[in-house]
Structures are given as C-alpha cells and as structure tokens.
Structure 1
Amino acid sequence: MNEWIYFFDLWGTAVFALTGALAAGHHRMDPFGVFVLAGVTAVGGGSIRDALMGTTPVFWLQDQTYILVVLTTVMLTLSFTRTNHSAPWYLLPIADALGLALFTVIGAEKAMGLGLSEVSIVIMGVITGVGGGVLRDILCRQVPMIMRTEIYATSSIVGAIIYCLCLNMEFDSMAAVVVAMTSAFVIRLAAIKWQLSLPAFDLKRA
C-alpha cells in the first residue's frame, strides 16, 4: 500500500509540475521561472500540509526524488513544446484536475496516518489538493480557482469526504484511495466539460 501511495504522490508531483510549466509558458517566463512555477505548483500544497501537521522537514527535503521529478517534467515540457512549436494548452485543465484528485487523497491519507480527526483529514486533503494551484495562480497574477465560482475546491472536498466514508465502511485501503481519486477527478472533469459552477455572491444584485 505504501509503495502505491508513494507512486501516486510522485505521479501527482509530475502532473502538477506540468500544469505549472504550461502556465509559465503561457506567461512567457524564462527557464528558471518555469522551474520555479512548476516546483511551487508541485510541492506547494504538500509543504503547507506538512508545516501545519508538524511533519518537518517537509517531504521534498527528505526525499530528493520529488525535485528530480519536477526537474525532469520541466525539461520534457520545454523540449516537447520547442520541438512541436505549440504548447498543448488543452492538457492544462485536465492535468490540473488529475493532480487535484491525486493530491487530495494523498493529503487525506497522510493525515489519517497521523490519527487526525475526520474533519482534519478532509481539511488536510483539500489543502494538499488546492495549495499548489493557489500559489501558481497568485504568482501568475490570477485569481485562484478556489476563489472563483468554478467547481474546483468542491471536487477536492467531495473526494476527501468519500475517502473517509470508504474507510468507515471498511473498504480496502487501496480501494478507498482509488474510489476517492476517481470521484474527485470525474467531478472536476464534469465541471470543466459542462461549465458547472456554484452561485456567485454578488452584493450588487442582493
């Protein structure tokens, strides 16, 4: 189980690093800027989570594999876009949705391993899932997705809750991880495809 969680964590790191690299390209950053934005997106949420839970040094300082994954992803992204003369922008929301789902459940699983309450497990899952994207959007001078009406953080919350429910129903640990990840991913993809959103808080119309 731990090996699979580690694999998902590295995969999520690569996916979020890709979203950061593509966002950096969209804003015409230099290679160093691409690496910084990719790194912040990939490990930002987990770093905030570890700091809040007192798990220090944070995970990527203990295991340099995460930095190597980010660096490799950036290099491959730069090489691909230069060779093909076009960036696959359509992959950005899909990759972001996948990273959101992966990191949400990874964060929830790590909080569960520390024996935190179910509310705390959900909160840590959401912070892990959306934290990197929030930092990425701020550095790109954009309003973070969780502050918009898009169904983004909601899919992360639902995924973390489903993870807790699956464990309470005595699902196998791996089954709980897969079900929760799939649920968060599908909800986010549905929101993207059908442009689903939450009602906006608009005082002008109140």
Structure 2
Amino acid sequence: MGTWEVFLIIGTISFALQGGLIAMEKKYDLFGVYLFGILTAFGGGAIRNTLIDAPDYELWKQGSLFYSAVIAITLILLFPKPFLASRELWGNFLDAVGLIAFSIHGATVAVKLDLPVSAVVVSALLTATGGGVMRDLLSQRQPIVLGEVVYGLWVCLIGLIIGMGWATETWHLYLLFIVFTVLRVLSYLYDWKVPVRRYSE
C-alpha cells in the first residue's frame, strides 16, 4: 500500500465518522447520518477534481474507500455511546486527522498533475475543507474554516511545503502528517485564533 492510499484511508474514515457524529448530534435519521458521513468524506475530492481538472473517473473507482466509510458510519450507529459521550473531543480529533490527511492527499494530487504551487495549495484546501463546508451549510452550522480558529492556515502551509518541493520523500509526508495533526489539536485545545478585522459603523 502506497503513501497515497494510506492518507486516503485515514482521511476517509476520519471524515466519515465526523460527519456521522454531527448528523447524530442533529438527531437526523439513518439516511441523514450516512449522507453526512459520505458527503464529508468525498465532497472535497469531488470539488477538487472539478476545479483542477483532475480525472473525474477516479472518483468512481474508490469502492474500497466507500465501503470503509460505510463501515465506519455503521460503527458509530451500532456503538454510539463511546463516541457521543465525548463527542467534542472525538469530533475535533477526527477533524484534525481527516483535515491533515486530506490536505496532504490533495496537494500530492496536484503535484502529480504537474500544477503550479498556487494550484497545489488550492487543491489541498479544497480536498480538506470542501466536504466539511457542504456538510456545515446543510446542517446550518458556520463552516469551521470560515471561523477564527487556526484551521485553513495549516492546510495552506501543507500545500505550500509540498508544492515547493520541500517534502518529496515518503517519510517527509508522514512527518508532515504527525506535526500538523498535533498543531491542529493544539490550536483547538488552546483556542489559537487567526486575527480578525471587524467592521463597525
């Protein structure tokens, strides 16, 4: 199994679980839980493929990932207590893991297509946040990436590092994953925020 597949699996399972948890918090029915899980896991990749002109057929050849997402969602439906008892912790941890894994995957997709650095950063951002934004809009939540938390910053830095060719080896990508996952968790625990300029009349 290559590095590409590892990050795909990690991100897919993490985002599927997180989407399912949010749907359960909203007291949606079974269809809603599966829909939110699948949307969170695959929505960003679909948007990315459209905007960077990646092969769309690849999206429909991810049967194993789809089954992994369905199994993960079923797991929280069958055993909800361990997840819902500490849903805030689980939600943010899963979000951190999925965010960073998909950021790295999105950046590597753009690099394989020989796109410029700017496109690599955009690809990382879309892959990591696209599904979550659609999920949050459907559940009438403010998208996390548009809040004050240090969220999109980590994604853009990952895209920049990979796009500039500073992380070319397999171990570089795993190191990026560990470092930025820790940073994402710390930014939640310590409430790190991006400076805000508010308009006042």
User: Normalising by the residue count of structure 1, what TM-score does the alignment of the two structures yield?
Assistant: 0.90
Identify the residue that residue 60 of structure 2 maps to in structure 1.
Answer: 61
Read off the aligned partner of 1:64 and give its amino acid letter.
Answer: G
Distance of 1:155 and 1:101 partners within structure 2? 8
SS in 2 for 1:39: helix
Q: CA deviation at 1:58?
A: 4.7
**2:184 maps to which residue?**
188
Q: How does 1:26-175 map to 2 (within 5 A)?
A: 26-81=25-80, 86-89=84-87, 90-165=89-164, 167-168=165-166, 171-175=167-171
Mark the CA change 1:158 to 1:69 in structure 2 (over 3 Å): closer, same or farther: same
Separation of aligned partners in 1, 2:44 and 2:194:
23
User: Residues 129 and 86 (structure 1 numbering): CA distance in 2 closer, same or farther, change over 3 Å?
Assistant: closer
> Aligned partners of 2:57 and 2:123: how far apart in 1?
14
Superposition TM-score, scaled by structure 2 size: 0.92
Helix, strand or coil at the partner of 1:203 = coil
**Superposition RMSD in Å:** 1.9
% identical equivalent positions: 25
Task: Tell me how far apart the structure 1 counterparts of residues 30 and 53 of structure 2 sit (CA, whole Å).
Answer: 33
The one-letter amino acid of 1:202's match is R
How big is each residue's C-alpha offset from its partner over 1:71-99, in whole Å with a ceiling of 9 and x where there is no partner? 111111101116x6944302000110110
Q: Find the aligned partners of 2:18 and 2:175 in 1 and give their Cα distance.
A: 24
Q: How big is each residue's C-alpha offset from its partner over 1:159-201, in whole Å with a ceiling of 9 and x where there is no partner?
A: 2222234x34xx5421231232233212211210110101222
- Checking the alignment, whether the CA contact within 8 Å between 2:40 and 2:132 is kept in structure 1 is yes
CA contact (8 A) 1:162 1:180 kept: no
Unaligned runs of 5+ in 2: none
Q: Pick closer, same or farther for the CA change 1:13–1:145 going to 2, 3 Å.
A: same
Check 1:64–1:85 CA distance in 2 against 1; reply closer, same or farther (3 A cut). Answer: closer
CA distance in 2, matches of 1:61, 1:120: 23
Q: Report if aligned partners of 2:18, 2:94 keep a CA contact under 8 Å in 1.
A: yes
Equivalent residue for 1:177?
173
Shift of 1:39: 0.4
Q: Which runs of 5+ in 1 are unaligned?
A: none
The 10-residue stretch of structure 1 (31-40 or 155-164) with the greater mean CA deviation from structure 2:
155-164
d(CA) in 2 for partners of 1:172, 1:124: 17
Maintained 8 Å contact 2:21/2:84:
no
